[in-house]
Amino acid sequence: MAGDLLADVYLQSRRSLSIEQAGGAQARIEEVEVLEAAAGDPLDGRLAYDVRARWTASGSVGHWGHVHQRKNLYEADLRLEAVNGSWMLMGLELLDEKRIDAGAGRAPGASPPPQAAGQP
């Protein structure tokens, strides 16, 4: 990635796995899985492509003395370009981001829903 874009993507990823109400939360991304990536034609005759991609990022968020697992799904338009013999991420437009782990939809700190009789 190039310059400020790398810092922006890193900070967005950390914020999205954090819980805003948990002041001082620490996030750690443990796995990224690319689900889809489709490149268009080369741009302006250069070695550069616009790519529509979907991926998940899984990790943990620690706050108030305990750790929660998080998994988010992302969709974005990326611009990849060859620079000095290496592929660089030159642009990113985030189109969608949603939390998809088992705890999604519960308030931070809320207990999981009770299990039905006979359910583990």
* pLDDT tens, residue by residue, 88-99: 999 999 999 999
In a domain, 84, yes or no: yes
When divided into structural domains, the chain yields a total of 1
User: Can you give the pLDDT at residue 89?
Assistant: 93
In a domain, 118, yes or no: no
Task: State the Cα–Cα distance between residues 14 and 53, nearest whole angstrom.
Answer: 19
Residue 114 has pLDDT above 60, yes or no: no
User: Can you give the pLDDT at residue 115?
Assistant: 45
User: Can you give the pLDDT at residue 14?
Assistant: 66
CATH code of the domain in which 43 resides: 3.10.450
In a domain, 52, yes or no: yes
In a domain, 89, yes or no: yes
Q: Which of 7-11, 15-19, 81-85 has the highest mean pLDDT?
A: 81-85
Range of the domain at 49: 3-19+30-99
At 20-60, the pLDDT tens digits run: 545 567 788 999 999 999 999 999 888 999 999 999 999 98
Task: State the Cα–Cα distance between residues 41 and 61, nearest whole angstrom.
Answer: 39
| Full-model pTM | 0.66
User: Can you give the pLDDT at residue 31?
Assistant: 94
Task: State the Cα–Cα distance between residues 7 and 62, nearest whole angstrom.
Answer: 22
In a domain, 119, yes or no: no
Residue 109 has pLDDT above 70, yes or no: no
In a domain, 62, yes or no: yes
Residue 109 CB partners (closer than 8 Å, separation 6+)? 64
In a domain, 115, yes or no: no
**Residue 87 structure tokens:** 């592929």
User: Can you give the pLDDT at residue 68?
Assistant: 85
